[in-house]
Amino acid sequence: MSNAWIVACRPFSGLRSSLLALPTWSIASAVAAARPVSPRTLSSHISRLGTAQLKCYSLRPPLLRLLDHRQFTTSTTAFARGSSVSKKSASTPPSEARKGTSQDAGGKEDTPLPGGDLPQDKITKIFGPGTSVEEGNKFLRALQHRRVTGSLAEKGVNFEKPTAFPKKRALNALEYLRSTHPVDEEAAAAEWAQKEAQRLEGELIQRAQDLKLYKKAEPEQTLGSVYGHSELEALRRRNEEAYERQKEEEERRKEAQEKTEKSEKSGTLGPVKAKTELLKKEKSEWVKYFEEQAVIRKEKQAPKMSAAARILPSALVAALVLAGTYVLTEKYKPPAASARLWPDTPPALATCFALLNINLFIFLAWRYPPFWRTMNNYLLQTPGYPTAASVLGNVFSHQDPKHLFMNMLILMGAGPQLHELVGRANFLAIYLAGGVLGSLGSLVVNVAARNFFVSTLGASGALAAVVGALLLLKNSKYFTLPFFPEYKIPVSSNAMLSACLAYEIWGLTRRGRTGMDHVAHLGGYATGMAAAGVLTWQVGERRRREQEKKKEMGFLQKTFVARKDE
């Protein structure tokens, strides 16, 4: 056996041509297979690549020929349905994609997705019904690990339980990852193949050294060897040189990319982008000072308070507001035309314009930093550290121009119509009651759910009350567009109200993804509908009393009262 080993390893002229055709680690593979013991199966990598498993007892020429056929493929035809790997120009380099990749000693494959774990609706769309978020994201992370490490070219999409999925679903997941997170899978597979070959070479050489069949020669010994130049050493040096060249090329590419980014930031000519990126203006010291002063609590955690301590003060303010609206409806009397500030303006428009100006003034006040601390206290409702007065103040507060525009558009469209039906006192009562009850309902729900790091503001709850009361009181079979009364849509007011309520209930199922406080909206709708019911009952009760009075009147009283009413 030792003579066979010498014949296989010594690079004399008789075997040099065959040695040149072998890969870097072929001789070491022959050494590992030359043990005169029980037959051993060659590495499982060969079987996975399509070569049949071989049992070896000694060195024979057929074995060397078979070992020479072992290659690492970077093709994806074994597991891809459509196109293979994404184009290199649009894909992420393997070195960048591997950031965050982890694999423990047990071989666990887990690479976080660039956009984080997917929600349930996307998992169901990829894998079909019956797949949980944990199972789907675990499989996607494992599949992403194989893509960025290059092992996908050999292992494919087959996994062991409990990570395994049917092949069709696994291919769907692979197509999703390729479409959303492109990676240069060819480069990753080539890099993985090189590392795998080096690992196998090291293992086989170490095994030969353990069996004392091979001894690594020192450089000075190689120079003075009587057998001349070793092909194994030549192959090793060529591999090292190729690796160094590849490393230098990657460094040059990174330097060129950094220079390009610097030129873009400095204003010099560079590649044209599809969109314009504006540099953010640095905040002045004046703004930074008031920004720090506006922070109510420096701690990042919500203070330890009971639910009653968070809710009861705001509930007391809401009760006071409701009491004030009741007094307003009972005691208010419309002023004479001579006593009005704008006598030529209809009362409905004057009331709505006053509400619009209040909201606009507070919106502009948010742009003045010295006001920020006061406005954070009283014009912004936060369940983590609530202020009692904010249950009313946030109803008039807006920070986003789009939010303000949409709310004021609804106010000027529906507000005057309800004002004409119920009068100024009842209109203001519905507006204020809907706002504070909607805010209070939102506060209660957020405290119960322990959503302390959210904030609410806006007149949406008050406007929902206005819309709800208007649709119930009009009870029309046609829907008239605001500002365009000549256009009528054949949709009843009850159907429109049902659609509004259905949308708010659907928004609750989205769990905050819509960015709107649907609880406050529903509280406003409930307030407006209740107010409409009370007003309808009051009108019916008044008519009933008038009819009873007429029954008790005599003939002369009925005649003169009827003429007076006419």
Q: 3-class SS at 488?
A: strand
Cα dihedral across residues 48, 49, 52, 57: positive or negative: negative
Which residue is associated with the tokens 């256009």?
A: 487
| pLDDT band for position 187 (cuts 50, 70, 90) | confident
pLDDT cut 70: percent of the chain above it: 70
Highest mean pLDDT among 78-87, 212-221, 420-429, 546-555: 420-429
pLDDT at residue 304, rounded to an integer: 84
Task: Give the Cα separation of 421 and 412 in Å (integer).
Answer: 15
Q: State pLDDT tens for residues 429-450.
A: 999 999 999 999 999 999 998 8
CB of 472 closer than 8 Å to CB of 430: no
Whole-prediction pTM value?
0.49
Q: Pick the more confident residue, 405 or 102.
A: 405
Task: Give the Cα separation of 203 and 132 in Å (integer).
Answer: 41
* Residue 215, pLDDT above cutoff 80: no
- Which phi and psi (to 5°) does residue 8 adopt? -75, -30
Whole-angstrom Cα Rg for the chain: 40
Q: Give the side-chain half-sphere CA count within 13 A for 51.
A: 21
3-state secondary structure 367-435: CCHHHHHHHHHHCCECCCCCCCCHHHHHHHCCCCHHHHHHHHHHHHHHHHHHHHHHCHHHHHHHHHHHH
pLDDT, mean over the chain: 75
* Residue 43, pLDDT above cutoff 70: no
Q: Pick the more confident residue, 74 or 528.
A: 528
Domains and CATH numbers, the chain: 2-72+195-256 (no CATH), 88-191 (no CATH), 308-552 (1.20.1540.10)
Q: 3-class SS at 33?
A: coil
Cβ atoms within 10 Å, residue 35? 17
Task: Give the Cα separation of 14 and 105 in Å (integer).
Answer: 45
Q: 3-class SS at 304?
A: coil
Q: State pLDDT tens for residues 374-387.
A: 888 899 998 888 88
CB of 249 closer than 8 Å to CB of 95: no
Query: Pick from 527, 520, 542, 384: which is nearest to 457 by CA?
Result: 520
Report the Cα–Cα distance between both ends of the chain, in Å, rounded.
130
